[in-house]
Amino acid sequence: MTRKSESKLRAAAYASVGAVLLLAASLGVEVAQAQAIMRTPTISVPSRIPTISPNIAARAAAVAPGPRAIPAIPHTTTIGRVGTTPVLPYARYSPNLYPSCSAPYRDGDGECLAQPNAGGDGTGKSGKKSAGKGRSNNNTPVAVNLRSFANEFVAEIDGTLSVTEADELARRHGLSRIASENFPLIGATFGLFRITDGRPFETARREFAADGSVRSVQPNFRYVLQDQKAGTPTEGDPAQYALAKLRLPQAHTLAHGANVTVAVIDSGIDAKHPELSNSVSDNFDALGSAEGPHVHGTGIAGAIVAHAKLMGSAPEARIIAIRAFGGTTGGAESSSYIILRSLNYAAEHGAQIVNMSFAGPKDAVIERAIAATAARGLVLIAAAGNAGAKSPPLYPAANPNVIAVSATDQQDRLFPASNRGNYIALAAPGVDIFLPAPDGKYQMTSGTSFSAAYVSGVAALLLERNYTLKPEALRMTLAKTARDLGSPGRDDLFGDGEADAFAAVMAVPADNATPVAAASGTTKREDADKRRDEPGIRAIEQPSLSSAGDKAAISQADRPATR
């Protein structure tokens, strides 16, 4: 082999070895990269922790003490019927809570208006099906409240019309008269009407309002009870932290609510429950329904008058059980017309206190009825609402003639679902409360509903102590004897603070005269005249208790400056 041939052969061999090495190196690098990906992947995963509103997050972990702590509140919940994303879950605290809405779709009173692609029939249903029916589909809010019953009006009509004439009035305008009656409370005749000819709500309302026999027309607004959806009723448990928080044992050495009548406008009450025996003095079914007792109404009555295993805030008070809320699926609901009937009955049948553990939108008819009820000297107490920190004011609690009550837990923290606002007057226990349930059972439930009921009972103690106490003096007594919570002084969470039954009763000058409305079968307990003095009770200066110029509305001095 020549030197030249040898050189060529050596060069070819080197080239082959180089190619093999290059291929091996290449394969080695690829395998190394694959192992690195499998062993230490670099994956960008966004945080799964929900972002919660600051007002809620600070308290979400402490809603309920012990093993019943409520899970963390999700950031958003999509509601199909209106497409909103409220901070609070739609059905967590009440199956019928109203969805929240964004600022551009609220009217001057903070109420939700129909949003784009939402039908204008007052139901809140999607407007997709009506896209081809001649309705414009633009981004202008439709001024129909989403919180009303579809195609229904509540209208004040000429009181001289007979039933036949009222039916004819309705037919002329394509309506049917569902019901109508005269309400002495407000000195007017109102009817409930429904659209029957398929016309748009606003068109029918405008044409009906133009009739000479019609004084006013408004939607038939929807009201819902303010409780957390209750679980299966369980056996009773006598542990009630609310008693100690409100200092009820001490207050009961002075008063038990004897000879005081509390109207409970709510769902059905189980008057046969051992906790409520001989406490329900009157029944009125504003719905005309055949439903049995309901868990909410029974619990509300128990918070006021329970007197067996449990103890209500006024165990000897009398209850007028007014069924205004019905519905067997989910939470019971009511309407403007039914609430009007209920308030009228309470005022006409001797109620001294009216408990309203429900909420809804601002309602001209109900505002008028509440003003008339207050003018008769009745004490009106309502649940602040369970719609949370971002909710606009709910009614009737936000009415200035009403004592609005928010809810606290065993650690004196605000119930996260509780409404806030300058209309909040007081706070009271409302988280994990043991109360009676239908069929002799018991429940543990939460909500501003039960806070309001406790305060209604405390008000009954004050009226037993001095039955001439006027509504504004009673409210001032509750405010000035309340135990301050939260930031010093009055605030939008707790109002003037948590109610203190003992301090309030001690602050009211005793008047042992028997009320004119006292029932002969109801007497004070033997220990009612006992007196227990305790240091630190604040003495307050009472307004005039009874005078010819008695004002029924809340005194201006007792209202927050911004109300």
Check residue 144 and give its pLDDT: 40
**CA-based max dimension of the chain:** 141
Q: Which of 121, 266, 270, 409 is catalytic?
A: 266
Q: Which of 391, 449, 451, 456 is catalytic?
A: 449
Whole-angstrom Cα distance, residue 421 to residue 551?
25
Helix axes 364-375, 336-348, angle to 10 degrees: 10
The DSSP code sequence of 415-456 is: PTTS--STTEEEEEE-SSEEEEETTTEEEEE-SHHHHHHHHH
Q: Taken in order 511, 254, 380, 394, is the CA torsion positive or negative?
A: positive
Q: Where are the alpha helices (DSSP H) in 210-335?
A: 241-246, 248-251, 295-305
Whole-angstrom Cα distance, residue 287 to residue 410?
36
Q: How confident is the model at residue 26 (pLDDT cuts 50, 70, 90)?
A: very low
The string of pLDDT tens digits covering residues 300-336 is 999 999 999 999 999 999 999 999 998 755 568 999 9
The mean pLDDT of the chain is 73
**Whole-number percent of the chain with pLDDT over 70:** 62
Whole-angstrom Cα distance, residue 189 to residue 209?
15
Does the annotation mark 349 as catalytic? no
The DSSP code sequence of 208-227 is: HHTSTTEEEEEEEEEEEE--
| Helix/strand/coil (H/E/C) assignment for every residue in 72-117 | CCCCCCCCCCCCCCCCCCCCCCCCCCCCCCCHHHECCCCCEEECCC
Check residue 525 and give its pLDDT: 32
Does the annotation mark 173 as catalytic? no
Is pLDDT larger for residue 96 or for residue 349? 349
The CATH number of domain 241-507, selected from 3.30.230.10, 3.10.20.740, 3.90.1150.10, 3.40.50.200: 3.40.50.200
Whole-angstrom Cα distance, residue 215 to residue 157?
6
- Residues in CB range of 105: below 8 A, 6 or more apart: 112, 113, 114, 115, 141
Q: How confident is the model at residue 349 (pLDDT cuts 50, 70, 90)?
A: very high
- How many Å is the Cα radius of gyration of the chain? 32
Does the annotation mark 197 as catalytic? no
Is residue 86 exposed (0-12), middle (13-18) or buried (19+ Cβ within 10 Å)? buried
**Whole-number percent of the chain with pLDDT over 90:** 58
Whole-angstrom Cα distance, residue 32 to residue 492?
63
Q: How far is CA 289 from CA 193, 270, 329, 520, in A?
A: 19, 15, 15, 31
Taking 80 as the threshold, does the pLDDT of residue 93 lie above it? no
Is pLDDT larger for residue 430 or for residue 118? 430
Check residue 115 and give its pLDDT: 37
The string of pLDDT tens digits covering residues 286-298 is 998 888 899 999 9
- Within the chain, all domains assigned CATH 3.30.70.80 are found at 148-221
Query: What is the Cβ-side half-sphere exposure of residue 563, based on CA atoms within 13 angstroms?
Result: 20
- 325: part of which helix (H) or strand (E)? none
- The candidate with the shortest Cα–Cα distance to 300, out of 265, 324, 335, 345, is 265
- The candidate with the shortest Cα–Cα distance to 505, out of 529, 526, 481, 525, is 481
Q: Given its phi and psi angles, is residue 279 left (phi above 0), alpha (psi -120 to 50 degrees) or beta?
A: alpha
User: Helices (H), strands (E): how many in the chain?
Assistant: 12, 17
- pLDDT-wise least confident of 24-33, 153-162, 218-227, 308-317: 24-33
Q: How confident is the model at residue 554 (pLDDT cuts 50, 70, 90)?
A: very low
- pLDDT-wise least confident of 338-342, 476-480, 487-491, 514-518: 514-518
- 176: part of which helix (H) or strand (E)? strand 175-183
Secondary structure letter of residue 382 according to DSSP: E
Q: Which of 281, 296, 363, 496 is catalytic?
A: 296
Q: How far is CA 117 from CA 67, 76, 82, 436, 498, in A?
A: 43, 21, 9, 44, 44
Mean pLDDT of 385-402: 94
Q: Which residues of 493-505 are buried (b: 16+ CB within 10 A; e: fewer)?
A: bbbbbbbbbbbbb
Distance from chain centroid for Cα 300: 13
Secondary structure letter of residue 18 according to DSSP: H
Mean pLDDT of 25-45: 35
- The candidate with the shortest Cα–Cα distance to 436, out of 321, 323, 298, is 298
- Within the chain, all domains assigned CATH 3.40.50.200 are found at 241-507
Whole-angstrom Cα distance, residue 380 to residue 373?
8
Q: Given its phi and psi angles, is residue 193 left (phi above 0), alpha (psi -120 to 50 degrees) or beta?
A: beta
- Tell me the fold of 148-221: Alpha-Beta Plaits (3.30.70)
Which residues, in sequence order, are bridge partners of residue 223?
334
Distance from chain centroid for Cα 144: 22
The string of pLDDT tens digits covering residues 223-249 is 988 876 544 444 445 458 999 999 999
Taking 90 as the threshold, does the pLDDT of residue 411 lie above it? yes
Whole-angstrom Cα distance, residue 231 to residue 494?
27
Whole-angstrom Cα distance, residue 216 to residue 209?
6
- Residues in CB range of 73: below 8 A, 6 or more apart: 52, 56, 60, 87, 88, 89, 92, 416
pTM, rounded to two decimals: 0.69
Taking 50 as the threshold, does the pLDDT of residue 68 lie above it? no
Neighbours of 326 (CB within 10 A): 19
Is residue 377 exposed (0-12), middle (13-18) or buried (19+ Cβ within 10 Å)? middle
Whole-angstrom Cα distance, residue 372 to residue 552?
9
- The candidate with the shortest Cα–Cα distance to 497, out of 488, 487, 508, 484, is 484
